[in-house]
Amino acid sequence: MKKMKSFNIVLGLALSIVSCGSRAAEPVKKKTPPNILVVLCDDLGYADVGFNGSPDIITPELDKLANNGTIFTSAYVAHSFCGPSRAALMTGRYPHQVGVPFNLHSNSSEADADNMGIPTNEVFMPKALQKEGYYTSAIGKWHLGAAPKFHPNKRGFDNFYGFLGGGHNYFPSKYQKQYANQVNAGAKVIRDYILPLEHNGKEVKETEYITDALSREAANSIKVAAKNKKPFFIYLAYNAPHVPLEAKKEDMDVFPEIKDKDRKIYAGMVYALDRGVGKIVQTLKETNQFDNTIIVFLSDNGGNFDHGANNYPLKGTKGDTWEGGFRVPMFVHWPAKIQRGQIYKYPVSALDLYPTFLSLSKAKLPKNKTLAGKDLSKALFEGEDVYKEDMIYAVRYRHGYCDVAGRKGNLKVTRMGNEPWLLFDVEKDMGEKKNLGYRYPDKMKEMVGEIANWTQSFVKPLWYYSAMDELLWEEGRMPNFKETFEVNKLNQTASKK
């Protein structure tokens, strides 16, 4: 994959700007709660947006917002797969603490099982905002449970338009025909990706390319909130650029220099998303809500480099605990409060959105609710390192060992499967090329021990990928934490690398 010539410029700005003594923009005179728009992409690569230095994909609408807000160069999600990552965003807790560290199954019969969803005793973020008078909408991909009790309308969303599964085909003329053929053939199980979209529990016959349809519905939600004079919370969960790779010709034509087929389609999908954000911004301006709307943009996990994504300069891909698996592009834009042109280099997590939104909206923390993240207010307004000596974690279960990572400050420890533990300075070495474990074995051991202690908060998974996975768990061969967190004998091996 082609390297980014401009990335060093961005990183240089990050190192110089965020010690920032920059003054926050003037607050809005009228004390109205902010609108909140979360734009979540699916499998978007770290280097696949202009504001992160993409060498070949242009995202002009996103770049305008990013460059007039705060860009987070060290933003992480709570898991390297989409379902657990989204569960963390909605609950404000790591998926392992809720019992959902595995993705939901992809066919509709299993997804409808009564226990296949995020436990209903976990109060979702929109529920807390809804109680404060927010008009709440979920647009796009759900993937947090398809049974009635897990439906978005039951989890704090007044309005839902999209699909309940883990993905969807993009062209209605194609997937609707496939769906009709399977129904006519009497198929008992139909893959989520071709099911009809729904609006608040009722099937709809969509006519637009899915990304365009989701952008349209987000704009409609903004108009509804404006008409009813209510603040809004919109969770716009695009399935782009997740597979299947399907783009409109006119969007692919924007990139004549890209010759690789997958990359070209992928670029078209990202460009469609960017176009959509531009239309949403236009709607915000037309309804006089742009200045007091917090827009947060990020991906649910790292890009999948087997399907067109580029995570440079990060190592790794979707599904692992190298930086490329769970470090994502992110910005926050809020004209009424945030000074333009800030770059924040310190680590943050998607887990932080729940407490931050409650703080900024003055909403109350639900009773008996424990959150894992931090309030980012001081990061946004003062450039403060809100994690300081606290750690951000990632764990992916495998057979025998786990992929594990923990970042504290500029240091990160990671272990992939049965490989040795490694220690990196990811501020200086984003590509995780220079192992420091042999130089600082005590520091590595200390950080590994901290992660091991954190895993004591984990609960047994509510579902697994397969019956074999469940058997391995019952037999103690998954996650095998005793072997996973053993450091001493592996450090000798690591020192040779």
Active-site annotation holds for 82: yes
Reported pTM: 0.93
- Average pLDDT over the chain, rounded to an integer: 92
Note the pLDDT tens digit of each residue in 417-428: 889 999 999 999
Residue range 319-336: mean pLDDT, rounded: 98
Lowest mean pLDDT segment, chosen from 53-62, 78-87, 414-423? 414-423
Is the separation of the CB atoms in 269 and 70 below 8 Å?
no
Among 24-33, 162-171, 466-475, the minimum mean pLDDT is found in: 24-33
Whole-number pLDDT of residue 490: 53
pLDDT digits (tens, 9 = 90+) for 285-320: 999 999 999 999 999 999 999 999 999 999 999 999
- Cβ pair 461, 101 in contact under 8 A: yes
Task: Band the pLDDT of 163: cuts 50, 70, 90.
Answer: very high
The Cα–Cα gap between 495 and 497 comes to 6
Q: 91 or 21: which carries more pLDDT confidence? A: 91
Confidence band (pLDDT; 50, 70, 90) for 6? Answer: very low
- The catalytically annotated residue of 96, 143, 151, 242 is 143
How far, in Å, are 13, 238, 260, 280, 303 from residue 248 at the CA level?
35, 16, 16, 19, 21
For 102-120, what is the mean pLDDT? Answer: 76
Confidence band of 5 (pLDDT split at 50, 70, 90) = very low
pLDDT for 208-239, tens place per residue?
999 999 999 999 999 999 999 999 999 999 99
Give the pLDDT of residue 17: 39
pLDDT: which is higher, 192 or 113? 192
Catalytic-residue membership of 333: no
pLDDT of residue 400: 78
2 has a pLDDT exceeding 60: no
Cβ neighbours of 149 (radius 10 Å): 10
Tell me what pLDDT residue 109 has.
47
- Segment 244-300, tens digit of pLDDT: 999 999 999 999 999 999 999 999 999 999 999 999 999 999 999 999 999 999 999
Per-residue pLDDT for 43 more than 60?
yes
Listed by start position, the domains of the chain span 7-17+33-382, 391-494
Q: Which residues lie below 8 Å from residue 174, measured CB to CB, with a gap of 6+?
A: none
- Joined together, the tokens standing for residue 212 give 């365009």
Classified by CATH at the fold level, domain 7-17+33-382 comes out as: Alkaline Phosphatase, subunit A (3.40.720)
Neighbours of 367 (CB within 10 A): 6
Residue 88 confidence (pLDDT) above 50: yes
Q: Are 451 and 413 in contact (CB under 8 A)?
A: yes
Q: Tell whether the model's pLDDT for residue 13 goes beyond 50.
A: no
* Neighbouring-strand partners of residue 117: 145
| Contacts of 200-209 spanning 24+ positions with Cβ under 8 A | 200/153, 200/159, 200/160, 200/161, 201/151, 201/153, 201/160, 204/161, 205/172, 205/176, 206/172, 207/172, 208/172, 209/170, 209/171, 209/172, 209/248, 209/272
SS (H, E, C) 61-129: HHHHHHHCCEEEEEEECCCCCHHHHHHHHHHCCCHHHHCCCCCCCCEHHHHCCCCCECCCCCCCHHHHH
From the list 82, 151, 242, 402, the catalytic residue is 82
Contact 240, 228 (CB under 8 A): no
CATH match of 391-494 with 3.30.1120.10? yes
Q: What is the pLDDT of residue 86?
A: 98
Whether the per-residue pLDDT at 149 is higher than 50: the answer is: yes
Report d(CA 218, CA 212) in Å as an integer: 10
